[in-house]
Structure 1
Amino acid sequence: MKSDVELAKELHDFQIKWKCLVVLDDIWTTTTWDLLKDAFPTTQGDTLHSKILLTTRKRNVALHVDQHGFLHKPQFLNDKESLELFQKKYFPTRTDLPSNSNDDDERKTDLAKVMLEKCGGLPLAIIVLAGLLSKIHTIYEWELMKTSVLKCMDQDEQHDDDSEYRSVLWVLGLSYTELPPQLKPCFLYLARYPEDATIRVRELCLVLMAEGFISPKRNSAKTTEEVAYDWLCELVERSMIQVKEMSSIGRIKSFCIHDLMRHVCITKAQDEMFLHFIDLRNKEVEENIETTKARRVSIYDDNVVDRNARFPGMVQNMNDSLRYFSVEGPSMEFGEGVFGHVCNHFLMLRVLIIDDMNGTLELPEEIGNLIHLRLFSVPLRKIKEIPSCFGNFRCLQTLRVLASNSILPESMWKLEQLRHLYFSLASNVPIGKFLRSTKSRNIQTLVGICAKDLVQSDFQYLNNLKKLKIYVDPSSVTLFNTPQTLTFTCLLSLQVNNYFDTIDVVPLILSCPRIYKLTLNSGIERLPEINQFSRNLMKLKLSKLNLKNDPMPTLEKLPELRVLVISNHSFVGNEMVCSRGGFHRLESLEFIGLIDLREWKVEENALPRLGYLRIRECRGLRSVPDGLRNIVTLKEIKISYMPKKFKERMEEGGDDFDKVKHVPSRVFFECDTVSISSIAYQMCSLNRDILYKCIRGLRRVPDGVRNIVTLNEMVISNMPKTFKERMEEGGEDFYKVKHVASRIERRG
């Protein structure tokens, strides 16, 4: 693996040789630039073909980088623009109707103008203030808020640092102060995520529930999961977090937090000793790690192997009363000694998360000491046996064990609080005995189970099951042949996997009459008829179906379908047609790896609401359909790993440009190369070998190979020396293949 100095020189020389535009976003300190500058040709002796665009909030950083460079400072909003933005953000989020009194409305406008003056024309401060005021209704409450705003601002003016952004910081701090008590822990938990992280709503809700922060109101029909989701939605309404992705059924799937809001979050979490976040990527922070009294610790690392030596010492210096402990990062070494310390000292733990761990880990018997655990997530990919002391986790709600063939002790199936079980998608973990017990009544999530050894009665108690990902072989399909006696009435999401056989999925689909999301990863004997699909279906993902007949005449009639993904040889015919009036609610359509597809037709009035189209690795497709010109709702087209001619036809002056020129965003990626990512995707259950032979243009092993946990052997034949070196220990691709027991090189 190359050193930092070697990488910096390589980047430096590349920018001298080629004309590049380099974007460095959000540089906070001069020290950060000094650590990076050797990688960029900025000195007078360099021949400057390349340009650097750097963003920072601090003028002194920009001047430190280049005193003679072009300095652009975005203009702040004036009073009129500030009020317009405030009104735009305030009214859509209000829970009350406008006042019946014109005097009240005028008074609120006057108060808003006073507070907006303190925002300094900064959009983030105005948006957060609007979210803050949207939760209060009376003139008296607005007067109190104005007093708080002026008081906070007066106190903050005593500090000279970050003066330009003082108005943001005080309003962000005030937005936290004004949170209801139950929402404060939800917000502070966001301090555990690294900067710019995409935060999945479901995962955060599971952690909040495990900590016991979520409690439904008395006599409420809502579950704890629904209450947790509602609380996160309130943070969105207050503009404290930003929605990043919506699900097909209109729920928030993931979100992010602005870096300034995250700064406030981390500061508050540390001041209140709620949570301590240790980012080992930051050398300055790492050198100042001290014993923390916080009862929650999150450690993040990113390929910084030389700092693993400090990790055991950090753990030993932590508070023995920890309730939450997470370690994330691809280079973390979580050895048995560290795990033993966790099991013997952190006896109050409720949440233990270890992700992307290097090496293997043997679970000690002492893990049974953690009797308060409610969420346990460890990637035990090479563990063959889990200790019987797992039965001590009587409070356990969520178990995520990414092992393929682990033997789970019978004592585990006595855990009455289990709600969410996650195994590897290629798992063969036997859980029939648990399913047929009354202890399974609370189960809401089953991911990675195999139907091979199950009987129909195993499902009789799963009355609350909402999410199911199951491996089904031809013999186990008969489990679902009598849907009148086996019906998952609460199931909302179903994924069916089979990587080798062709199965009949119709009986299983008939057993799930209410699902909103369906994923099929298997060859199927026949596509279900329109009346056999759930009428609620909003998202459909099809992979490896090997259908010879065009599926569109059936799929376009699904009344609620919003998202459709057809990938990896799901259709092996040559022509696909979206007929007149079809897919009347579809918003997103993706074709991936349909190598036999030659022609796609879109008739008039088909796809009237389509907003997003993606075409990837459909290399036989000659052109986009003429009917795209009539889809006025289309906002983005992404084309990747397609022939160069296909791309050129869509560019200005090309034969297909008129069909797509109305689309605001047209993105092309790697349209002169062939991707093999789909190969790795199709081999996610591979347990024999991968043979790379005579693909001499291939630069690297796909990243997805690291997730093929069943892979035992790789044979590399007649490949370039550099390809082999990347896979050897110390090479750039070693982490992708180090779990493979046998890696063989052959010549010729």
Structure 2
Amino acid sequence: MFNLQTRLEEPFALNKSRQTDSFVPSAFVGRDKDSAKIISLLLSTNGQQKVEVIPILGIGGLGKTALSQQIYNDERVSSYFQLKSWICVPDNFDETLVVKRILESLTEDKVGDLQLQTLKSKLKNKMDNKKFLFVLDDVWDNGDYESNWDSLMSFLWNVGAVGSKIIITTRIRSVANLMATKGVEPHELQGLSKQDSWTLFKHVTFKGEAMEGGERFVRAGEAIVGRCVGVPLAIRAMAGILSSKRNVVDWEALRDKQARLDRVDTDKRILATLRLSYDNLPSHLKPCFAYCSLFPKDCVIDVKMLVQLWMGQGYINRGQLPSSHLYEVGVEYFKGMLSKSFFQESHEDQRGNVKNCKMHDLMHDLALEVAGEENITLKASNPMVDDDVDLDRLRHMSVDFGGVRRKSWPVPDSLPQATKLRTFLPANLDWEGMNVREGKGYEMFFSNMTSLRALSLYGGQMKVIPPSIHKLKRLRYLNLSRNGMETLPDEIIKLVNLQVLILDLCYELQELPQDMAKLSNLEFLSLLGCWRLRGLPLGIGKLTRLKELSTFVLGTEAKISELKDLDNLGGALSIKNLGLVKGRAEAKAASLNRKPNLEALELEWNMLDSDNAAAGEEMTLEALEPHENLKKLKLQHYSGSSLPSWVSNSLKNVVIISLSRCGGLLYLPSLAPLVSLEELELYSLEGLEYIQIEEATSPSSSSSSSSSASNNNPQLLPRLKSLAIRHCNNLISWWSTSKIEVPLFPCLSALDIVDCPKLAWTPRFSVHMGKVKLSDVRSDLLGEFAASLPPPHSPTHSRFKELTIDGMEGLQVLPQELHPQLVSLESLCIQSCLDLTTLSPPASSEQHLAFSLYYCLPALRCLQMWGLMGLDCLPQWLQHSSHLRELRISYCHGLGCLPDWLPKLTMIETLQIKDCELLLPRLESRTAQDWHKVEHILNITINDKMVQRNGNYLELAGNDQHQEQEAEREEEEEDDHEVLPATSAQSSRYVLLLNYGKAAFL
């Protein structure tokens, strides 16, 4: 299978230390000059065109993408551009798909299947005349790319700010020349120098350690590197092979094999070099690599799914570790291949597990080559199976839905003849899923393809799963996510080899088959988003091989005691309907403290539980103590008045705690022991009055203990990075008795306090405060917050960069205590403070404090004012903010004119004014009263309309009435998809803002 070569080798054994070393970050070598040159072009302001395109040209494997990533993530670049987006361009350059991907990247959300004009309208609103940097990675000359590119550039030219840039990477010179801005030469990437190539090779081979071995090692290594002709991908591949070989004979053997490639043309030599790396893979990894050809180029590969698919095909062997789970061994397979550069761009989740990755284009070409006729990927837009495909030899099939707007897929007429097919997968699907046309399509999978081991019908829109599914006796992986069935057929329990069953987002699913316990080989059962599931069947606890069970719904059958023997459970577990648990003994039977692999635990009660259930819920929660290894804990709809002692005493390793809608909770236990806590979220805790954090020095402590604490420099929650307290209407203070005198949260970088109208401030914060939002709180809280911070010249001074002040009733002036704390502030947003009349200091010392305030705002780059009805002028100190780049003013109806000193702010690039009824007439034309004050600004938007340099409003395509109506119609269709409902508090908040905005037009 897969044209594999067999060779003698040692039995596979996991080497934990080597696998850990394999994740040392790879060096970025030899591109400093390239990086500096392109960054200089990006930041240049000389002779700017509105949108400038900079192509990076080079053969495959040279590192065009890696160089672009290095530039994209550079701090100078990130601070210079207001918007950034990275797009992997499909082989056929399609404007609709590119615009959609840009929009999804900027909004971090899927946007559905919309027409191009609607997508452009949405993107225009998102871009909002801001300066952007887009990277279009791996552009080809397929299809009608020229006209698509011209149309895209015409649009971006009109919606972006002056100084916007686009980087494209391509292997094709004609593409680079076409897309480059006039006067900009494509940056042609060359191979690494001999010295840089050797440096990269040593880094990958020895993981940053000193090179071992004598002169023979060096000579062999230098010869191998020399034949990689400076191509980083080839160097990494060769180094990956040799990283596990410490015998010089092996190095010389690889050198001699590589020498035979000297006769191969240069353009084919890189792929041939990669083939050498494949030939040197252990035999158990070769089919795993070949299988990856099913994932289209540029596809983000979910590592968990990939390993599960390998399991389903029987590629994973426990070898010398019979007690290990197949999945764990498979993860080690993946890590081994990642260390050898067969995968790249890997990302980890919050728990440190590798979440996804990509495969380089040339590696994908190699996978296609070694897979041969056994693997095929069909394009959903052209689903015909070529006549030259030998269906009898076909084993694995995927369907690429990338770039297909409508996801309905007709099953090829010849496909039922592929009776030996072992895999069927849709790839590049978005949230809509796939719709196999009704009729013979689904039945064909269940009746004809009885050799299937892995089947995904994600988004198939099936209302009923046919009973014929039982014919798939060999099936080990089954994904039926996002289908519309209410039940599964009882026949599914005959799939006794099933290891993975995924039923995510099956919103209509109400019950599982009664005899699920017969699926004795099941290791993964995922039920995320199955909101109507009434419960799990009796006997589910007999599935003792389960490694992950996403959701345990208590109902009339399965009790929580079913969890007792599922001690192998890992990942995340959500237990719902805990109100059905009867007493402490029943809860304790779940034995959660015997599940050391469990990383995340969500405990949810029914929000309709009776008011007198609090005592019972407290006993239940006390008995549900998890293992100390737990990393994340979330409680929802808990009505008890207190939390159990184990929250403080046992969760030494917990990183995230979220308490949501726990209305009966009156106080929290001491959080001081939670030394690993990084994120704390308190949401809608209506009964909470105090946050108890008291295990530290306080005035009531003895003098000796106080002295000791002081000497040891105590800090509370030393790793906390994010603190969010939202909609806690009765929260009064942080503690009810003593006042902590030691700094809190020294690593805090994000603070979000929303809708806590009674909260009084008392903590002392420390350094690293990056982003602060105070919304719908007492107006005097702002001053108390500022006073609680360390003094400006203190070594623990808080240097936050973003401050948002929202909805503070009664706030008339910014408190004097706040001014010295703004030394590092880059963004200030003040909105919906209807009583605020000035941003200047108190009148008694205005002249003195105005200049001191200026000195405290040396870094300010963005000032946003929204809904400040009492504001009648801009503050005088603003004229000294020499680094200000953005000024955005909306719904400030009292603002009568712009100041005469505004032209002094020469760094301003963006001015946005919306619905300021006194100000707008002064800017309606070049002859208007205030026009001369803003004509130096490159990017001006007035009432959502961009201004050309001649002063006339520029109507964008998205402003056309017909197109607006079309956009609204498509948005209504998009809203038909089922989504999570917003909370009532959120909904009412948005309605108020929208209504307020409309009132400004009346």
Report whether the alignment pairs 1:265 with 2:357: no
Aligned to 2:424: 325
- Using a 3 Å threshold, how does the CA distance of structure 1 residues 150 and 182 change in structure 2: closer, same or farther? same
- Using a 3 Å threshold, how does the CA distance of structure 1 residues 528 and 260 change in structure 2: closer, same or farther? farther
Aligned to 2:522: 418
**After superposition, where does 1:667-746 map in structure 2 within 5 Å?**
731-732=970-971, 734-738=973-977
Native 8 Å contact 2:512 2:537 kept in 1: no
Report whether the alignment pairs 1:65 with 2:174: no
Native 8 Å contact 1:488 1:511 kept in 2: yes
Q: Identify which range, 578-587 or 625-634, moves more after superposition.
A: 625-634
- Using a 3 Å threshold, how does the CA distance of structure 1 residues 8 and 360 change in structure 2: closer, same or farther? same
Could you tell me how far apart the structure 2 residues matched to 1:656 and 1:552 are? 30
**After superposition, where does 1:648-659 map in structure 2 within 5 Å?**
656-658=821-823
- Using a 3 Å threshold, how does the CA distance of structure 1 residues 364 and 405 change in structure 2: closer, same or farther? closer
Q: Tell me, what secondary structure is at the counterpart of 2:207? A: helix
2:170 counterpart (56, 59, 64): 56
**After superposition, where does 1:399-548 map in structure 2 within 5 Å?**
399-402=501-504, 403=506, 404-425=508-529, 426-435=531-540, 439-453=542-556, 454-455=558-559, 457-467=561-571, 468-476=573-581, 478=583, 483=588, 486-491=591-596, 492-493=598-599, 494-498=601-605, 500=607, 503-504=617-618, 506-523=621-638, 525=640, 526-529=642-645, 534-535=650-651, 537-546=653-662
Could you tell me how far apart the structure 1 residues matched to 2:862 and 2:167 are? 22
Percent of aligned pairs sharing the same letter: 19
* 1:527 Cα offset (Å): 3.2
Could you tell me how far apart the structure 1 residues matched to 2:275 and 2:333 are? 19
Native 8 Å contact 2:434 2:459 kept in 1: yes
Native 8 Å contact 1:642 1:672 kept in 2: no
Aligned to 1:707: none
**After superposition, where does 1:332-347 map in structure 2 within 5 Å?**
332-334=434-436, 335-347=438-450
- Using a 3 Å threshold, how does the CA distance of structure 1 residues 380 and 244 change in structure 2: closer, same or farther? closer
**After superposition, where does 1:8-407 map in structure 2 within 5 Å?**
22-29=134-141, 31=143, 33-34=145-146, 36-41=148-153, 52-66=166-180, 68-70=182-184, 71-92=186-207, 99=212, 104-157=213-266, 159=268, 166-167=269-270, 169-218=271-320, 220-242=322-344, 244-269=346-371, 271=372, 273-280=373-380, 291=389, 293-302=393-402, 304-306=404-406, 308=408, 311-313=410-412, 316=415, 319-328=418-427, 329=429, 330=432, 332-334=434-436, 335-357=438-460, 359-379=461-481, 381-402=483-504, 403=506, 404-407=508-511
* 1:395 Cα offset (Å): 0.9
Q: Tell me, what secondary structure is at the counterpart of 1:416? A: coil
Native 8 Å contact 1:583 1:608 kept in 2: no
Q: Tell me, what secondary structure is at the counterpart of 1:442? A: coil
* 1:28 Cα offset (Å): 2.3
Native 8 Å contact 2:622 2:645 kept in 1: no
Aligned to 1:557: 673
Could you tell me how far apart the structure 2 residues matched to 1:122 and 1:733 are? 50
> Which residue identity lines up with residue 422 of structure 2 in the other structure?
R
Q: Identify which range, 313-322 or 286-295, moves more after superposition.
A: 286-295
- Using a 3 Å threshold, how does the CA distance of structure 1 residues 458 and 11 change in structure 2: closer, same or farther? closer
- Using a 3 Å threshold, how does the CA distance of structure 1 residues 332 and 452 change in structure 2: closer, same or farther? closer
**After superposition, where does 1:619-638 map in structure 2 within 5 Å?**
619-620=775-776, 626=789
Could you tell me how far apart the structure 2 residues matched to 1:541 and 1:123 are? 43
Native 8 Å contact 1:211 1:350 kept in 2: yes
Native 8 Å contact 1:240 1:257 kept in 2: yes
Native 8 Å contact 1:576 1:599 kept in 2: no
Q: Identify which range, 538-547 or 12-21, moves more after superposition.
A: 12-21
TM-score (norm 2): 0.57
Native 8 Å contact 1:188 1:265 kept in 2: yes
Could you tell me how far apart the structure 2 residues matched to 1:632 and 1:152 are? 61
Could you tell me how far apart the structure 2 residues matched to 1:668 and 1:446 are? 48
> Which residue identity lines up with residue 459 of structure 1 in the other structure?
L
> Which residue identity lines up with residue 54 of structure 1 in the other structure?
I
> Which residue identity lines up with residue 33 of structure 1 in the other structure?
Y
Q: Identify which range, 203-212 or 246-255, moves more after superposition.
A: 246-255
| 1:169-189 deviation line (CA, Å, top 9, x unaligned) | 343332222111111222233
* 1:421 Cα offset (Å): 1.6
Q: Tell me, what secondary structure is at the counterpart of 1:40? A: helix
- Using a 3 Å threshold, how does the CA distance of structure 1 residues 290 and 431 change in structure 2: closer, same or farther? farther
Native 8 Å contact 1:194 1:279 kept in 2: no
Q: Tell me, what secondary structure is at the counterpart of 1:245? A: strand
- Using a 3 Å threshold, how does the CA distance of structure 1 residues 210 and 21 change in structure 2: closer, same or farther? closer
Native 8 Å contact 1:530 1:558 kept in 2: no
> Which residue identity lines up with residue 583 of structure 2 in the other structure?
T
Q: Tell me, what secondary structure is at the counterpart of 2:456? A: strand
- Using a 3 Å threshold, how does the CA distance of structure 1 residues 551 and 301 change in structure 2: closer, same or farther? farther
Q: What is the total number of aligned residue pairs between the two structures?
A: 664
**After superposition, where does 1:576-591 map in structure 2 within 5 Å?**
581-582=714-715, 586=719, 589=722, 591=724
| 1:429-473 deviation line (CA, Å, top 9, x unaligned) | 43341235xx32222222222124343543343233334221133
Give the unaligned 5+ runs of structure 1: 160-165, 675-696, 698-719, 743-747
Q: Tell me, what secondary structure is at the counterpart of 1:225? A: helix
Give the unaligned 5+ runs of structure 2: 1-112, 697-712, 735-739, 751-767, 809-813, 827-858, 868-914, 916-960, 982-994, 996-1002
Q: Identify which range, 137-146 or 113-122, moves more after superposition.
A: 113-122
Could you tell me how far apart the structure 1 residues matched to 2:559 and 2:122 are? 60
Q: Identify which range, 377-386 or 545-554, moves more after superposition.
A: 545-554
* 1:235 Cα offset (Å): 1.3
* 1:388 Cα offset (Å): 1.7
* 1:220 Cα offset (Å): 3.9
Native 8 Å contact 2:433 2:482 kept in 1: no
> Which residue identity lines up with residue 218 of structure 2 in the other structure?
T
Q: Tell me, what secondary structure is at the counterpart of 2:539? A: helix
Could you tell me how far apart the structure 2 residues matched to 1:485 and 1:440 are? 14
> Which residue identity lines up with residue 497 of structure 1 in the other structure?
E
Could you tell me how far apart the structure 1 residues matched to 2:462 and 2:861 are? 40
Q: Which has the higher contact order (CA 8 A, sep 6+)?
A: 2
* 1:345 Cα offset (Å): 1.1
